[in-house]
Structure 1
Amino acid sequence: MLRTVFSPRLVALHLLLVVVLVSFGLLGRWQLGVFEDSGRPRVAADPAPVAVSTLTQAGRHMTTDAVSRRVTAEGTYDLGRQLLVAGRDGGFWVLAPLDLGDGTAIPVVRGRITDAADPAAKAAPQGKVTVTGRLRPSEQVDGVPRRVRSLPEGQVLTVSTAELINVWSGLRLRDGYVVATGQNPPDAAPLTPVHVDPPTVPGGSPGATSPTPHSGGSSRRSRCSCGSTSCATRSRPLAPAGTSRKAARKAVSTAAPGAARKAAQEPASPSSRRRRIT
């Protein structure tokens, strides 16, 4: 029996089976990897920086196309209203309104500090500055867990436009906020930059467009094979798909009397008169 099992033919078949099983396993892992990669967000086009006033307005929500876009903003920091956003990467975001000089302001995340008492948070330049960065949407207040203890004065948990309107009373805030990646003139004491990912698009191939469904009950006007324009089948309605024969005959019978009356009102053709005389 061992001689039969270890015959060259069976050994070759066993080796072939092992190769096939290993190949199927590798192909399955490859297909799974392709599927996972197709669902990951892809980096979208990153256009050149534009003025922040072209992408966000006061009293209106910014569009999804504006998220993470590179923007520029020119104005003056209102350091008297500066806040610290707690719980950000083990530290604080330094958030200050930038007065754009047109009656509106935009919140700007100037950078990050690890200690709330860091003097670098107040080392912003005086006068007009030009900020470059990425535009981010307003954060949702409901998605952030509230702490049991109250935050110290001058600190918040979210960069929410709705919340900042109440904190910074008297300012007309544009929706969203800017995470600064550059500034001219720079701060006297540089802050730790806050990283923001570039724009992305959802992964996966776009869904196929489904064909437009045909509406049932539509009418089709056609010329009868007899050549007459007053035939009862001229304006016969088409029954919707799935209609039984009995219902279709009922629909035709309801349309036939009107067509017959119309045919009676039209003058008869010479050929029909000749047939009547004969």
Structure 2
Amino acid sequence: MPVFHEIITSWAEKLTDYEKQEAESIVSWLFEHHLGWRKSDLLNDADEGSFPPKILEDLERLKMGEPIQYIIGKGPFYGRDFFVSPDTLIPRNETEELVHLIIKENPKASLKLLDIGTGTGCIPVSLALEMEDPEVYAVDISEEALAIARKNGDALGAEVVFSKCDILSELPEVAELDILVSNPPYIPEQEKSEMQKNVLDFEPGLALFVSNEDPLLFYRTIAEKGKQLLKSGGKIYFEINEKYGNAVSLLMQESGYSEIRVLKDLNGKDRIVVARC
């Protein structure tokens, strides 16, 4: 019988939307999810004919470009597995960098935090679990996303208060925040043609896209409302589109913030803006 990596390679070749290494990693993940097989395992007593129908069905979904995280219902983030659904974005490495920065820069206990546009809740749940006795709140416009976020908070034992809020028309019911964080929609509609099929066809546009006419809409709105929500000296952390580092920095300056920094991610792209109220 073929060893594991030979079946991995064979199946990965069918995932034409991915680079070879990523495709092999995705197929390995699928096998581990269904059968508990890891890369080091040898398939001495199995062949493709003995696979359960569900794994073959899921392979077809992968071939159509559906993300593995939606197929298995989970995705990793900051050392934990988070439930995901087509109503939420899939947690990404860049957002892990944002979370890590907040934890590193804010060691003080009992800080009060708000995450705007929480999606899966990966940001506030991670902060609630990693920081020292914080008071954590999170909002989203989507009831479906909030259901997933609450599920993650409960499953991981994180104390986070989740609530519905349309940040463009409402003010979250919290005040005197030490930290405001947001990874809002930041991809202009015109950039759809540059995006991968597995993102464009499956992830929620509500959480991805902003109009071409005003790509900084969410940053401007959150910055303005942050003036009401943050205590004096409080910090605001944004994840940003790599093309808008200077623009968001200027916006924050015009909004009256100080100590503004534009930070690059591990790929050298502008990804985080930090400022003080």
TM superposition score category, shorter chain reference: under 0.3
Higher Cα Rg: structure 1 or 2? Answer: 1
Q: Give the TM-score normalised by the residue count of structure 1.
A: 0.20
Q: Give the TM-score normalised by the residue count of structure 2.
A: 0.20
